[in-house]
Amino acid sequence: MGQGRTLKDGLAERGLLHVMAAHSPLSARLAEEAGFDGVWASGFELSALYGLPDVSLISMTQHLDMVRAIASQSALPIVADIDTGFGNALNVIHAVEHYERAGAAAVVIEDKTFPKVTSLVAGGRQELLRIEEFQGKIEAAVATRRDRDFLVIARTEALIAGRGQEEALTRAAAYAAAGADMILVHSKQRTPDEIERFVRAWTGAAPLVIVPTAYPDMNEARIRALGGIAMVIYGNHALRASVTAMQDVFARIRRDGGIHHVDRDIVPVEEIFRLQGMDRVKDDEARFLR
């Protein structure tokens, strides 16, 4: 059974999937242990890991290598954030072939022009493709996948670009007509109102996906009460949590003049050994090294 089927079965069983961003096999493993339904192979987080802005500077090869690494270390389905598909419809064909082979359960493709600018930055350039051109990208992705359970998720940035509800709904309907399995609608408003209006107005059959980074009040209870949303992606919290922790620990070490205080507040090295699978290494050494 493919991982796309795992996502579909999870949705049928639970009605709402919670997907946590990851930028490494370690963060994916932590998401799995925390009980999430999948991991979001985040282009934003990977860009930041390299110290780069999220403006299409990370190559497909870099992102794909991380997806492969995550797939090798976590059993969770991977929802791969492939931005604009790395180019036009021909690039999408190439990408889908490789991401499906790498073990992803789904790809998310957004309707911005390439190169893109990250969605939530103030004053960012947010240019959208023509609807017909993006439909071609979705059709190319659907035609390329080998497993029908491999999900093609179309992401509209119409609200991010300030185009309004009508255009967002028009684009979403066009992308669903092109074969998208799910529609991700994105917003940078600080309250859930804009997304809630979209969800109430959506009459399409394709389930909706949201990324409530900018509007954190959109919690599970509110999502379930609204209905129509099948997946919530926590898009950058792994990265932000990591930065928060490192900034605090680094500052404390410098302030204290050593690690004598902070050492008791961080996980022991034995926990890292556990996450690395060192017990298996010791077992294999005892069994095979002669």
Give the residue from 212, 236, 260 where a domain finishes.
236
Which of the residues 37, 54, 81, 181 is marked catalytic?
54
Residue 136: which CATH number? Answer: 3.20.20.60
- 224 and 130 assigned to the same domain: yes
- 252 and 159 assigned to the same domain: no
Give the residue from 215, 236, 257 where a domain finishes.
236
- 125 and 260 assigned to the same domain: no
- 13 and 77 assigned to the same domain: yes
CA-nearest of 273, 126, 143 to 188 is 126
- Whole-number percent of the chain with pLDDT over 90: 97
- 88 and 230 assigned to the same domain: yes
- 68 and 198 assigned to the same domain: yes
Question: How many independent structural domains does the chain possess?
Answer: 2
**pLDDT tens-place string over residues 166-200:** 999 999 999 999 999 999 999 999 999 999 999 99
Mean pLDDT of 135-150: 98
State which residues form the domain around 47: 3-236
- 35 and 160 assigned to the same domain: yes
- 173 and 281 assigned to the same domain: no
**pLDDT tens-place string over residues 214-258:** 999 999 999 999 999 999 999 999 999 999 999 999 999 999 999
Active site residue 54: yes
Q: Which two tokens stand for residue 114?
A: 């390439």
- 97 and 217 assigned to the same domain: yes
- 101 and 153 assigned to the same domain: yes
Give the 3-state DSSP-derived string for the chain, with helices as H, strands as E and coil as C: CCHHHHHHHHHHHHCCEEEEEECCHHHHHHHHHHCCCEEEECHHHHHHHCCCCCCCCCCHHHHHHHHHHHHHHCCCCEEEECCCCCCCHHHHHHHHHHHHHHCCCEEEEECECCCCCCCCCCCCCCCECCHHHHHHHHHHHHHHCCCCCCEEEEEECCCCCCCHHHHHHHHHHHHHHCCCCEEEECCCCCCCHHHHHHHHHCCCCCCEEECCCCCCCCCHHHHHHHCCEEEEEECCHHHHHHHHHHHHHHHHHHHHCCCCCHHHHCCCHHHHHHHHCHHHHHHHHHHHCC
Residue with the two structure tokens 């556990």? 274
- 35 and 178 assigned to the same domain: yes
- 169 and 282 assigned to the same domain: no
